[in-house]
Amino acid sequence: MMTRTSPSRRALQYLALAGYLVFLAFPLWWLISTALKTPQEIARIDPTVIPIHPTLENFRTAFEQQPILRSILNTLYVAGVSSLVTVGLAVPGAYVMARYRSIVGKSTMVWVLLSQIFPFILVIIPLFLIVRDFGLFDTHLGLIIVYIVWSMPFALWMLRSHVQSIPIEVEEAAAIDGASRVRMIREILAPLLVPGVVATALFTFVSAWNEFFFALVLLKSPELSTLSLTLVKFIGAEGVARLGALAAASLVATIPSLIFFAIIQRHLTSGLLSGAVKS
């Protein structure tokens, strides 16, 4: 775009950005800082913002106390599988719902909204009974199925919005140019949908990664336990002396999904519509 932004406006934008950065970063900084402190330093009456004697002792303590690593692998597995399956199933469905004038599309969207309205408490009791009847209680598979089903409505809803925001003219032009439907989807629609698909995949992965209510009810064995479940066990016994280990375990718990986000965040902005609808 050729329009210019005035310097004073830019300055205000940077000021606002700085405000956001502080708000977003400061609790995080405190978590990291606490994780690196010695118990003596945490117990000080006037807490220090930057650790005086940074130490990794808390991490050692955390790993010795709880099976953090195994929980992380469990969670990665459950969240990864359910995210991939959900998006794989949802993209074609969302396309149909956006582009066909069909009763299926309409009533599915109504159901999608309805199912989001229902609180967990309403489904968790019957779901527990069903999962148990299928012999899937206390298995990862049972949890994965539940996650797929519960992120599917959202995935459909989001992807449908994204398909709709792609101008129908793009497809029509492709058809006029003689492109087959498969080719149209692969070479024209798919690249335009990438940001939407990535956003949706992120959403489903992270909602599974973060979830803990279903996991609490559907898993029992400590060795299958997801991260949130393991950490909740930590919380009860948090005297000031143990805050460091708690912070360290929480940090470790966040690292895998941080890496995932770091890799994927670039795709949120690259490509997009550049050149796609150019005349």
Partner 1 sequence: MSRSTTVPEGTSAQAGRRRTAGRQPGRTPGRHGSGRPSGRRTLLGLDRDGLILVIPALLPIVAFSVYPLLRGIYLGFTDARAGRNSVTSFTGFENYAQLLGDSYFWSSFRIGLIWAVAVTALQFFLAFGLALLLNEPLRMRWLARTLALVPWAMPPVVIGIMWRLVYHPNAGILNTILGDLGLISRDVDWLNTAELALPAVILVAVWAGMPQTTVVLLAGLQGVRQELHEAAAVDGAGSWRRFWSVTLPHLRPIIVAITTLDFIWNFNSFGLVYVLTQGGPGGETRLPLLFAYEEAFRYGNYGYAAALGNAMVIVIALFVVFYLRIRMREDD
Nearest to 158 by CA among 191, 211, 112, 190: 112
The yes or no reply on residue 237 touching partner 1 (CB under 8 A) is no
> Residue 17: how many CB atoms within 10 A of its CB?
10
**DSSP character string of 209-222:** HH--HHHHHH---T
C-alpha triplet 245, 251, 253: angle, nearest 5° = 105
Q: Which of 38, 54, 77, 99 binds partner 1 (CB under 8 A)?
A: 99
Binding to partner 1, residues 106-135 (CB under 8 A): 107-108, 111, 113-127, 129-130
Q: With CB under 8 A as the contact rule, which of the stretches 51-59, 62-70, 101-109 interacts with partner 1?
A: 101-109
CA distance 147 to 124: 12
60 or 238: CB nearest partner 1: 238
The yes or no reply on residue 59 touching partner 1 (CB under 8 A) is no
Coil, helix or strand at residue 184: helix
CA distance 87 to 207: 13
Binding to partner 1, residues 171-210 (CB under 8 A): 171-176, 181, 184, 195-196, 199, 202-203, 206, 209-210
- Give every CB contact of residue 234 below 8 A, 6+ residues apart in sequence: 65, 66, 245, 246, 249
The yes or no reply on residue 137 touching partner 1 (CB under 8 A) is no
The tokens describing 90, both together, are 């949802």
Instruction: Report the amino acid identity of residue 263.
Output: I
223 or 229: CB nearest partner 1: 229
47 or 56: CB nearest partner 1: 47
The yes or no reply on residue 213 touching partner 1 (CB under 8 A) is yes
Q: Which of 60, 92, 186, 220 binds partner 1 (CB under 8 A)?
A: 92
Q: With CB under 8 A as the contact rule, which of the stretches 51-59, 60-68, 145-153 interacts with partner 1?
A: 145-153
Q: Please answer whether residues 247 and 34 qualify as being in contact, where contact means their C-beta atoms are separated by less than 8 angstroms.
A: yes
The yes or no reply on residue 228 touching partner 1 (CB under 8 A) is yes
CB of 60 to partner 1, least distance (A): 19
The yes or no reply on residue 40 touching partner 1 (CB under 8 A) is no
The yes or no reply on residue 16 touching partner 1 (CB under 8 A) is yes
